[in-house]
Amino acid sequence: MIKTIIFDFDDTLLISEKIKHDAYLTIFSDLPNSESIIRAADMENFGKHRRVVIEATLQALIKAGLVAVSDLEKEINKRTEKFSQLVETEILKAAEVEGASLVLPQLAQKYRLYLNSGTPLDKLSSIITKKRWQAYFQGIYGRPGTKEDHIQEIIAKEGCLPQEVVVVGDTQADWQAAVACGTRFVGINNAYSQWPLNPDFPILDNLISLLAVIAQF
């Protein structure tokens, strides 16, 4: 019997992944002819901390001769802060994955819910508070720390078995973390998902039927 559900955030509850990809272009919009390099650095570092992506982008732009930087650390900090401010503003305008506001209160009545994201914890907590979703979650986990470590911490906190936990996410990283921790998994399908052929877990296009799917575990 399932007791605990752990949600990813981006493109699992809010349609926000594209916002982050576009934000990398925006914060480097002062550098002409740089779009292909920015997109390549973003994709090569997909799922990594925003600071890592921005540093990799700057290094690639410097190598290509498109920018000269006297203080790399200062430049990374400046663009990371700009990215964070832009993303938080835009995410609050983002559409929900269909069914999110419908199923969260229903699930919270039956299960212990947690949020486990690659978004920095302070930014994530602020967004959840502004969305007025904080009451649904027993805990919110973000960077620093890995998704796998957070799942293990939640299992220990709840005192439940791994098979009594479902992870809900939209990427292979979410699935791999669930497998590593021995939990169940439900995939959310979108443009960025890359699921294996013939997966042994359910994949949904939205959250509307999530309650029924979890009841079948």
CATH number of the domain where residue 157 is located: 3.40.50.1000
Task: Indicate if 143 and 190 belong to the same structural domain.
Answer: yes
What is the domain extent for residue 141? Answer: 4-15+96-215
Task: Indicate if 85 and 102 belong to the same structural domain.
Answer: no
The residues of the chain scoring below 50 in pLDDT are: none
Distance CA 83, CA 23 (A): 6
Cis (ω within 30 of 0) for the bond into 144? yes
Residue 62 half-sphere exposure toward CB, CA atoms < 13 A: 13
Query: What letter does residue 163 receive in the DSSP assignment?
Result: G
Query: What letter does residue 120 receive in the DSSP assignment?
Result: E
Please identify, among 91, 114, 136, the residue that sits at the C-terminal boundary of a domain. 91
Name the pTM for this structure. Answer: 0.86
**How many domains does one find in the chain?**
2
Task: Indicate if 23 and 11 belong to the same structural domain.
Answer: no
Task: Indicate if 133 and 77 belong to the same structural domain.
Answer: no
Task: Indicate if 29 and 106 belong to the same structural domain.
Answer: no
Per-residue pLDDT of 40-98, as tens digits, reads: 999 899 878 899 999 999 999 999 999 999 999 999 999 999 999 999 889 888 999 99
Please identify, among 72, 91, 110, the residue that sits at the C-terminal boundary of a domain. 91
pLDDT of residue 190: 87
Q: Which residues contact 139 (CB under 8 A, 6 or more apart)?
A: 114, 115, 154, 157
Q: Give buried/exposed letters for 21-60 (b at 16+ CB in 10 A, else e).
A: eebbeebbeebeebeebbeebbeebeeeebbebbbbbbeb
Distance CA 131, CA 202 (A): 27
Task: Indicate if 163 and 78 belong to the same structural domain.
Answer: no
pLDDT of residue 46: 83
